[in-house]
């Protein structure tokens, strides 16, 4: 529904966003609760290395949550650009081209990767996929890295159910070219 003041109902904005590739499938009630909680809703991804969302302000007009029509259009345009960048980063990774500086975390179509000086850690956001979750790759020769686990486990792993990280990892090495990095 288009309002006379250049506003679109939140329900219509959510429908439009959910037709976009890469949108999230939260229910309209989730978006409405987010509007109530923060006065903003997330309607897309920002074009940058780490995934960040586009938060669009919402306001009630005559008892209905609405968003500015121009801000909605801009959010959708930025979201499409972000997906294009993410797809290009994915294609470049397949061609052995890395983006960002050491310490950067980049999103890909399948998950993402984190740059280190001589290695990069690649992860798949789909558990138990054919890529096998996390893996370390040598950034010099692109061989799979060997991992050494010489650290003591962290407090969470020792006392509870685990930290979700590889906290005992102490060194990453490449057997093919001899590159090595302490972690």
Average pLDDT rounded to a whole number, residues 116-126: 91
Residue with tokens 């792993």: 157
Residue 54 near residue 43, CB atoms below 8 Å? yes
pLDDT tens, position by position, 135-179: 999 999 999 999 999 999 888 888 887 787 888 999 999 999 999
pLDDT tens, position by position, 58-91: 999 999 999 999 999 999 999 999 999 999 999 9
Q: Where are the alpha helices (DSSP H) in the chain?
A: 10-18, 28-38, 69-94, 155-159
- Angstrom CA distances, 74 to 53, 58, 79, 160, stand at 13, 15, 8, 45
Angle (nearest 5°) at CA 161 between 156 and 163: 45
Of 46, 45, 72, residue with least CA distance to 58: 72
What is the pTM assigned to this prediction?
Answer: 0.80
């Amino acid at each position: 529904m288009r309002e006379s003041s250049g506003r679109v109902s939140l329900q219509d904005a959510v429908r439009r966003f959910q037709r976009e590739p890469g949108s999230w499938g939260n229910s309209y009630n989730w978006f409405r609760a987010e509007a109530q909680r923060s006065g903003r809703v997330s309607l897309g991804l920002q074009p940058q290395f780490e995934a960040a969302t586009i938060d669009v302000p919402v306001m009630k007009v005559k008892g209905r949550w609405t968003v500015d029509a121009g801000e909605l259009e801009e959010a959708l345009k930025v979201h499409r650009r972000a997906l294009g960048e993410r797809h290009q980063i994915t294609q470049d990774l397949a061609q052995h081209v890395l983006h960002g500086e050491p310490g950067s975390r980049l999103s890909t179509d399948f998950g993402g990767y984190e740059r280190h000086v001589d290695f990069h850690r690649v992860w798949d956001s789909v558990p138990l996929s054919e890529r096998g979750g996390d893996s370390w790759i040598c950034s010099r020769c692109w061989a799979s890295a060997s991992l050494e686990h010489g650290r003591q486990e962290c407090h969470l792993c020792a006392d509870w159910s685990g930290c979700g990280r590889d906290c005992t990892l102490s060194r990453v090495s490449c057997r093919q070219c001899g590159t090595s990095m302490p972690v």
